[in-house]
Amino acid sequence: MPATPEVQTGLEDVVAATTRICFIDGKQGRLIYEGYDIRDLAARSTFEEVAHLLWYGRLPTSAQLAELKARFAELRTLPSALAERIDTLPISANPMDILRTAVSSLALFEPEETRPGPSSIGGAQRLVAVLPTILGQFHRRRVRRPAPEPRPELSQAAYLLYCLLDREPTELESRAMDVALVLHADHELNASTFSARVTASTLSDLYSAVTSAIGTLKGPLHGGANERVMELLDEIGSVDRAEEVVKAKLARHERIMGFGHRVYKVEDPRATILREWSRKVGESRGNLRYYELLRRVEEVVHREKGLYPNVDLYSGSVYSLIGIPHDLFTPVFAASRVLGWTAHVLEEYRDLRLIRPVAKYVGALDLPYVPIGERH
Ligand code: ACO
């Protein structure tokens, strides 16, 4: 058998694409979108500005920003047949399954936007605008509240909160969510973006690529970790028990969610920013319990394993304090990352080459064929 090169399990360190969208310096702990440091974007920009940046490669002028905001507002309404369909799905379903089904179904109503190529920018805007509506349509039925209205005056962050909470978010809550959306919008070739690019590389459509990505994000090693962080905090209960609970888990070789990263060898810069937001939102509520617990967990995990926090360590505490149910954390991640997925799909269409790696075969060769009647 001809020799195949050694396998990089998990494709670790394999360079699989060129991109202008996002750069991660894992050694310095830097994250860059289209040339701009995430710390500047999180402090000074909005999700809408970042959307313009990732799709068009430059920050918008005031007029371009106003146009994009108006476009999002216009695109928030679901086709009534799809809204009715979502209302027939089981309320016990995992919201990520609802999101995946709804995006896949939406494609049936929007054949224009599904045509692969540059025109997919319309589909990209549509998906970013409508994901909060899908989540609101589903979640509000679970809590017996009416479906959301389009609310054109709200930013995407405020609209997402309004859809999920069925109330007007405060300015601090909207800003916290806006920062979270900016921080989660893209992360180079993470697993879900890679799956979106693989799907797009076959010249399949944008909605199919985003459907693949939602399925990939659902896994606890990728999008589901912040929900598990909150379970850990519930299990720990009080700061004085953190050390004992974390050490017992590590002794059983369990992973502590919200720590470690394939690319960052130092602290994830998104965790640094969200730590501050966890404190800020906690202070505004007069409740620093999560923040203090997480600080203690951080200390123990770093001392015992040398691991640093990733983006998922503090995000769940921010969402919980705002009142977002835990099973909507990964869907909130999707409502932001859909921006990165669509930007990467558009880039993939521009630089198209079918993504098709090879595998190292480790099975048998030349087995004699045994007729069915002679098998046992
Ligand atoms: N807790 C305990 N040990 C860990 C953790 C962790 N969170 N992360 C890595 N390790 C240990 C592993 O057990 C392994 O130790 P060993 O060599 O003694 O067996 C070593 O560190 C290397 O781990 P790998 O799984 O090979 O590292 P990889 O780069 O494949 O994993 C990953 C990265 C999946 C994120 C991992 O750190 C992890 O499982 N973290 C917890 C889940 C999590 O927080 N996911 C969110 C990531 S960010 C995002 O997707 C948005």
Atom 19 in ligand 1: residue holding the nearest Cα:
253
Which of 184, 186, 230, 259 for a ligand 1 pocket mutation test, highest count of atoms within 8 Å of Cβ? 259
Mean pLDDT of 328-346: 97
Contact of 155 with 48, CB cutoff 8 Å: yes
Beta bridge partners of 31: 24
Percentage above 70 pLDDT, the chain: 98
Residue 245 pLDDT grade (very low, low, confident, very high; cuts 50, 70, 90): very high
The 8-class DSSP code of residue 144 comes to T
Atom 34 in ligand 1: residue holding the nearest Cα:
221
Q: How crowded is the C-beta side of 342, counted as CA atoms within 13 Å?
A: 31
pLDDT of residue 211: 98
The CA distance from 349 to 24, in Å, is 22
Percentage above 90 pLDDT, the chain: 91
The 8-class DSSP code of residue 259 comes to B
Residue 95 pLDDT > 80: yes
Domain residue limits, the chain: 16-220+328-350, 225-322
The CA distance from 227 to 61, in Å, is 37
Rounded to a whole number of angstroms, the distance between the first and last alpha carbons of the chain is 29
Q: How crowded is the C-beta side of 164, counted as CA atoms within 13 Å?
A: 27
Cα 29 to its chain centre, rounded Å, is 19
Mean pLDDT of 110-120: 74
pLDDT of residue 6: 85
State the DSSP H helix or E strand holding residue 24, giving kind and residue range, or none if neither: strand 22-25
Contact of 315 with 210, CB cutoff 8 Å: no
Distance (angstroms) between ligand 1 centre and the Cα of 215 equals 20
DSSP 97-119: HHHHHHHHHHHHH-TTTTSSSTT
Atom 30 in ligand 1: residue holding the nearest Cα:
262
**pLDDT tens digits for range 168-190:** 999 999 999 999 999 999 999 99
Contact of 135 with 335, CB cutoff 8 Å: yes
Contact of 217 with 272, CB cutoff 8 Å: no
Mean pLDDT of 292-317: 97
Residue 372 pLDDT grade (very low, low, confident, very high; cuts 50, 70, 90): very high
Distance (angstroms) between ligand 1 centre and the Cα of 245 equals 18
Residue 223 pLDDT grade (very low, low, confident, very high; cuts 50, 70, 90): confident
| Between residues 144 and 2, the one the model is more confident about | 144
The CA distance from 347 to 63, in Å, is 25
Enumerate the H helices of 57-170 as residue ranges: 62-74, 80-86, 95-109, 120-142, 156-165
Distance (angstroms) between ligand 1 centre and the Cα of 255 equals 7
The CA distance from 167 to 204, in Å, is 39
Residue 6 token pair: 């050694």
Helix (H, G, I), strand (E, B) or coil at 337: helix
Range 16-220+328-350: architecture per CATH: Orthogonal Bundle (1.10)
pLDDT of residue 2: 61
pLDDT of residue 164: 98
Q: Starting from the edge strand earliest in sequence, which strands make up the sheet with 30-33, in order?
A: 22-25, 30-33, 36-37
For the structural domain made of 225-322, what CATH number should be given?
Answer: 1.10.230.10
Q: What is the CA radius of gyration of the chain?
A: 22
Which of 221, 229, 264, 301 for a ligand 1 pocket mutation test, highest count of atoms within 8 Å of Cβ? 221
Residue 50 pLDDT > 90: yes
Count of CB atoms situated within 10 Å of the CB of 157: 25
State the DSSP H helix or E strand holding residue 33, giving kind and residue range, or none if neither: strand 30-33
Residue type present at position 223 = G
Distance (angstroms) between ligand 1 centre and the Cα of 260 equals 5
Query: Which residues are annotated as catalytic?
Result: 222, 261, 312
Residue type present at position 188 = E
Strands 30-33, 36-37: pairing kind: antiparallel
The 8-class DSSP code of residue 311 comes to T
Residues 6+ positions from 351 with CB-CB distance below 8 Å: 17, 18
Contact of 335 with 155, CB cutoff 8 Å: no
pLDDT of residue 39: 98
Mean pLDDT of 312-322: 96
Mean pLDDT of 254-258: 95
Residues 6+ positions from 213 with CB-CB distance below 8 Å: 192, 193, 195, 196, 199, 337, 338, 341
Which of 96, 194, 255 for a ligand 1 pocket mutation test, highest count of atoms within 8 Å of Cβ? 255
Average pLDDT, the chain: 95
